[in-house]
Amino acid sequence: MSDILSKLSTAIIEGDFASTPEMAETALEEGLGPDEILNKGLMPGMDHVGVEFKAGNMFVPEVLRSARSMQAAMDIIRPLLAETGIEPAGKIVIGTVKGDLHDIGKNLVGMMCEGAGFEIIDLGKDIEPDAFVEAVKEHSPKILGMSALLTTTMRAMEQTIRALEETGIRDSVKIMIGGAPVTQAFSDQIGADGYAANAASASDIAKKFTP
């Protein structure tokens, strides 16, 4: 493997977000393609981070820095990827549903998915069904993610799915849901495409949705 690619991987693992953009540029100057930089430099770094996090050897703030380092490099290569017609992992619109102010779980999910190469559009918390619909229209994401931690707000996930159906764009996105009281059974019941119990499996599912 080229020296600069392994350096990029290492920088991502170490969370050196100040250096990764420059490294990405150097790689381009050396004549490497953006897809090669993504698949052989950035992704191996993040994959390693994912494995180490699951094993309990890396911690949330470290993973967050790695994801930031990855995104910093992505900012350099994303335009070129688009030019060469290669699609990056895609966008995820994510938010905590209407009436619900719990956002830490949602933030962690966003962070892990970002680390998996997705571009995250975080709508925040207390998000109305219509606002999710608008965001799907505006950003055409591959995945819509909803988080809810309250029994009283879980229903808003269903309402959002219905709103997407009514607008005729339900099938344009995969819908992933999660949050402490949410279960697979509930996900099936309201017609979501997937449920994740934690941030790591959320990013696994997101990857499965976008082969």
Partner 1 sequence: MINSKFTAQVTPGIQLLSDDQKGGIHSATLEVLRRTGVDVLVPGVRDMLQKAGCWVDGGRVRIPPNLIEWAIRAAPSRVVLCNQDGNPAMELEGRKGYYGTGSDTPFVIDAYTGQRRKAVLEDVANVAKLVDALEHIDFLMCMGIASDVTESISDLYHFREMVHNTSKPIIYTAWDRANLEAIVEMAEAVAGGPEALQRSPFMALYSEPISPLSHAKESCEKLLFLAEKGLPVVYTPGMMIGATAPVTIAGALVQANAEALSGLLITQLAREGTPVIGAGGILFMDMAKGAISYAAPEFMLAMTAFSEMYHYYKLPIFSFSGCSDAKVFDQQASAEGAIWMMLTALGGGNLIHDVGYIESGLTASYQQIVAMNEVAALVKRFMGGIEINDENIALEAIDRVGPGGNFVGDEHTFQHFRRNWVPELFDRSSREEWEVNGELTLGDNAAKKVRQVFENHQAKPVDESVSEALEAVIQKAEERNK
Binding site for ligand B1M (CB under 6 A): 94, 99-106, 108-109, 145-147, 149-152, 176-181, 196, 198-199, 202
Beta bridge partners of 146: 95, 177
Q: Please, what is the minimum distance in Å from the beta carbon of residue 31 to ligand B1M?
A: 39
Can residue 181 be called a binding residue for partner 1 (CB under 8 A)? yes
- Among positions 124-143, residues that touch partner 1 (CB under 8 A) are none
Can residue 191 be called a binding residue for partner 1 (CB under 8 A)? no
Q: Please name the residue that has the structure tokens 């102010």.
A: 101
Given the complex with partner 1, which of 25 and 103 has the nearer CB atom? 103
| Token pair belonging to 149 | 């931690």
**Alpha-carbon torsion 188, 170, 200, 122, what sign?**
negative
Q: Please, what is the minimum distance in Å from the beta carbon of residue 9 to partner 1?
A: 23
Cβ–Cβ < 8 Å for 71, 110: no
Residue 59 binding: pick among ligand B1M, partner 1, none (C-beta 5-8 Å cut-off by kind):
partner 1
The 10 Å Cβ neighbour count of residue 57 is 10
Can residue 108 be called a binding residue for partner 1 (CB under 8 A)? yes
CA–CA distance, 56 with 96 (Å, rounded to integer): 27
